[in-house]
Structure 1
């Protein structure tokens, strides 16, 4: 009898433990793995990760990369669930058959064209060397817009692709005459006295689209509710990003001096991060006009707002 009671008690305890385990598993937060570069353009998703640290529904696992090609390789291979990425790179991947959806902007505005101090105006850039991070970028588009506004074309300058971290020192050394890149590297060039701001992005392109938040189709299809919760929390995090909070997050992740961050954050905002059809159509026209991509994906094919 004692043996029977012992077996029954063990079985009851096992069932209880299994039930508790199932409950704990059911209450465990889903993790969304997001790739990013340590730039001010990624601050909304960094803020979201902080806000969701104690969430029982969704948490953000941040995966840092050192360059756009590295990040894109991980995104295209499905090693992450999504990324804060140059939207033109994501458009190209989508056009090549990678299952991606753009679900929000990374930021609003936040790009500048920096030139050496002896460049008086855009016309003086004829024959000069301008650096960009990648030809599939809004920075390349902004340079084209600037040249077009001043009666020049891309053939009138020498375009080079350069790592963002190298641009301020290259400008200081005189190996380039100007550059356009994600922040805070524009602010770095200005803060060290290597150059000055010739244009802010909104002076050339209203509602410019630069970085976007993208998710893989696989993740959205497998976990639609998690995707919705994640995107809603991301947009809220962007709206919550005051200049003070943005600077606090930037200091934690970007390892930049106060004067660089103060200047960089003057040019950028994170509220209202929805990608509208109008701004996307404007982007696709520029992408085609400046030779970034002949057949970019359409709005309904690539942008997802209907969670």
Structure 2
């Protein structure tokens, strides 16, 4: 029987076809991967970043052309360093720190607020007036914070100054224990750490932020300006999903609480109380509110030249969100 020989030209053509198909497959996989953009956002685990948590979970359930990677930090200086070095694309951060970073040359844009209201002044249960804090120790998380401004306003409204009390900076998770042990007599901090003392019966709310400074500005969502400029459509999609998540957060339903417990290892009673105080409605940063904040920062000599609203705030992304 004669052996059948396959022409060499046929073998060459077949090999070229296989290589070409392999190349197409590789290109398709690369293009598919390129269509999904990962956005890295820094955060510290507090209730002021809840819209980010919900956005992250919603994107996991319903994948879009963006992927959110939340990068957890334990201190605000670490967040600023990551923003400055370009290790993250943005952050949920105390707006005062972001303003200071902008003043120092880090090109950041505030594109939304993290929340409305929700800050409280917590004191030991035997304190019934601001006057009783005279000579006692009061804790804040950072001098560049809304909590420090709220303390300033509270003291000023009651004829006191910083010289009348002992103001210290303290790690937020340490504050409830410090109050319980009598090391401090009051504090103001991001949630849920205020609610911890109240829910546990060790402290009480002397003032909330609405009593002291209506429409106060606290945490903001900031993005590096180069990220916005180089990824405009992605930034728009990210903020759109952020706004959707904020609407969901403000429902404060069981599903929202379940998501919170993934990011905040805190008792559900504490989280429920914290959510009662805070709002996630209308997270657009208005010029009047920003200018009020700037006025306080200058008055308190915390920032000498706050960035102008038009230079620091970019509302074009949130204005395009539905």
| TM band (smaller chain) | over 0.9
Q: In the alignment, does 2:52 pair up with 1:45?
A: yes
Alpha-carbon distance change, 20 to 167 in structure 1, aligned in 2, over 3 angstroms: same
Q: Secondary structure at the match of 2:143?
A: coil
Say if 2:248 and 2:256, in contact at 8 Å, map to a contact too: no
Q: In the alignment, does 2:276 pair up with 1:266?
A: yes
Q: Equivalent residues in 2 for 1:1-307 (5 A)? A: 2-28=7-33, 29-53=36-60, 54-241=62-249, 242-244=251-253, 245-307=255-317
Once the two structures are superposed, what CA deviation does each residue of 1:142-187 show, in whole Å capped at 9, x if it has no partner?
1111111212222222110000010000001111110000100000
Alignment RMSD (CA, Å): 1.4
Total equivalences in the alignment:
307
The CA distance in 2 between the partners of 1:212 and 1:296, in whole Å, is 15
User: What runs of 5+ residues in structure 1 fail to find an aligned partner?
Assistant: none
The CA distance in 2 between the partners of 1:31 and 1:296, in whole Å, is 31
Once the two structures are superposed, what CA deviation does each residue of 1:36-80 show, in whole Å capped at 9, x if it has no partner?
111111110111111112423111001111121222221222111
Which is worse superposed, 98-107 or 147-156?
147-156
The CA distance in 2 between the partners of 1:17 and 1:270, in whole Å, is 49
Say if 1:134 and 1:161, in contact at 8 Å, map to a contact too: yes
Say if 1:27 and 1:56, in contact at 8 Å, map to a contact too: no
Pairwise CA distance, 1:271: 2.1
- Structure showing greater radius of gyration is 2
Q: TM-score, normalised by structure 2?
A: 0.91
The CA distance in 2 between the partners of 1:155 and 1:288, in whole Å, is 19
Q: Secondary structure at the match of 2:41?
A: strand
Q: Secondary structure at the match of 2:91?
A: strand
Once the two structures are superposed, what CA deviation does each residue of 1:16-36 show, in whole Å capped at 9, x if it has no partner?
333343334334310000111
